[in-house]
Amino acid sequence: MSITAIVLAAGRGSRMKSELPKVLHRAAGRPLVEYPIRAALAAGVTRVVVVTGGPERERLDAHLRAVFGVAVHCVEQATPRGTGDAARVGLAAVDADEVLVLCGDTPLLREEELRQLRAALEQGRSLAFLSARLDSPQGYGRVLRDAEGAVLGVREERDLKTDAERQLREVNAGVYAARVPELRAALAQLRDDNAQGELYLTDVVAWLAARGAVVAVEGPAEALLGVNDRAQLVAAEAALYRRIAARHAAAGVTVRAGALIDDDVTLEPDVEVESGACLRAGSVARRGARIGVGAVLTRCQLGERVTVLPYSVLTDSVVEAEAQVGPFSHLRPGSVLGERAHVGNFVETKQTRLGAGAKANHLAYLGDGEVGPGANIGAGTIFCNYDGFQKHRTVIGAGAFIGSDTQLVAPVTVGEGAYVATGTTVTKDVPADALALSRVKQENKPGYASRLRARMRAAAERAKAERAGR
């Protein structure tokens, strides 16, 4: 039995009040539309037709091509004339026997529910759809049943006729499994004589139910949460974050309350993620890595037993095994910390590699550089990498010692084992094992401090007297 999924994603999404198409708004790191597509692929679908439309259509199509390649095919609904019209447009591109129809704005739908719908269809039905019982069903279409409990149809909220109908708490999740010929026939019957003047996909339910071919499968309330506005976007994302945290917990990761882990992040067992840490954009942490309170990682890779202390921000960076970062460190793109390297508070790195065991523990800017294994970078060291026109490199050899408050004016090289004295401005290469020193000689004047103070106090009193005399 061949099966295709259709994802409806051409609606205006006007309740988002956004220039971005609704289904491209992100929740837990992925655009909304990716969730139903992934659920369908996980449920055994090999081809997904996405119905797109509107002025930003190209952007959505390009995104889906880049992420899913040939598994996903976009078709255009030129005018948003309702979910029924969108389903017709999608179905025109389907040549399978069976189809799943999903909405692009329901990110909490899971593979499990889709498998249940497929199983229900196996029992000789033409259409199975997902429903759920909600305490507050407002905004959803209601499932109408007869006295025996058989499905009669789905009625949209704006088209509800009686108080009894308004009391109904079983709602339509907007997710369907159907046999293609029967669905085509039902869609051909649709009319727009309803409150919104649209073609409702939901009207196929009554038409097929009258032929005894419909079943509703009740699923969890969470699965149907649709994102129509910003508040629902945030609510859906909170549910996704809970789900992702539970998934990692089950796999041996400690995720403290309030940590936010995107859907595409990989964590190995014994990783610990503290409250308020944000792990984003495909970041990976190997066994035993610890990520402290408030740390923000975007596209980063942490090796085994790495420690990231609180409030560090790491972007496009690699931290190798047992290295330590933070608190309050900033690893900008292209930073690589070798095994056991340390970067401490108020250290910023960019396009810089620190070799194994190298340390920069306090207050430094290391940009466009290379620091050899075991080298020590003192507090206040700056790689002066930018001359206002070009970026230049600083290279520090293995085991070199850079004293505090050193400026290295790039391009410059410090050889292996060299020693740069505190407060030096390095403008020339330093050979291996040399001492570099550039400071004005110190002079001490005994007893001068109290004379200096007396002079300054007298000057201050004169100035005060002048102000009073004016």
Active site residues: 362
The partner residues of 260 in beta bridges, in order of sequence, read: 278
Rounded to 10 degrees, what is the CA torsion of 266, 267, 272, 277?
A: 0
Choose the contact partner of 8 out of Ca ion, ligand UD1, none; CB within 5 to 8 A by kind. Answer: ligand UD1
Among 3, 5, 6, 8, the residue binding ligand UD1 under the rule CB under 6 A is 8
- Shortest Cβ 333–ligand UD1 spacing (Å): 35
Identity of the residue, 130 or 259, whose beta carbon is nearer to ligand UD1 in the bound complex: 130
Pick from 39, 154, 183, 306: which binds ligand UD1 (CB under 6 A)? Answer: 154
**Residues 106 and 227 sit within 8 Å (Cβ to Cβ):** yes
Using the structure block, give the residue that is written with the tokens 């505090």.
Answer: 404
CB of 42 to ligand UD1, least distance (A): 19
What is the DSSP secondary-structure string of 396-439? E-TT-EE-TT-EEESSEEE-TT-EE-TT-EE-S-B-TT-EE---
Nearer to Ca ion, 84 or 338 (CB): 84
Contact between 143 and 130 (Cβ < 8 Å):
no
Examine residue 131 and tell whether it contacts ligand UD1 (CB under 6 A): no
d(CA 124, CA 208): 13
C-alpha atoms less than 13 angstroms from C-alpha of 48 in its C-beta half-sphere:
31
Return the residue nearest Ca ion (CB atom): 226
Of 49 and 103, CB closest to ligand UD1:
103
- 184: tokens are 């085509």
Strand duo 170-179 + 127-133: pairing: antiparallel
Residue with Cβ nearer ligand UD1 (154 or 259)? 154
Question: Which residues lie below 8 Å from residue 259, measured CB to CB, with a gap of 6+?
Answer: 245, 273, 274, 275, 276, 277, 278, 279, 291
290 contributes a contact to ligand UD1 by CB under 6 A:
no
Residue selected from 107, 153, 226, 399 as contacting Ca ion according to rule CB under 5 A: 226
Give how many residues touch Ca ion by CB under 5 A: 3
**8 Å CB contact between 132 and 109:** no
Binding-site member from 28, 39, 60, 86 for ligand UD1 (CB under 6 A)? 86
User: Which one of ligand UD1, Ca ion, none is in contact with 315 (Cβ closer than 5 to 8 A by kind)?
Assistant: none
Binding mask 82-111 toward Ca ion (x if CB under 5 A, else -) reads -----------------------x------
User: Of the two residues 143 and 379, which places its CB atom closer to Ca ion in the complex?
Assistant: 143
- Interacting residues toward ligand UD1 by CB under 6 A: 8-11, 51, 77, 80-83, 85-86, 103-106, 140-141, 154, 156, 171-174, 200-202, 224, 226, 228
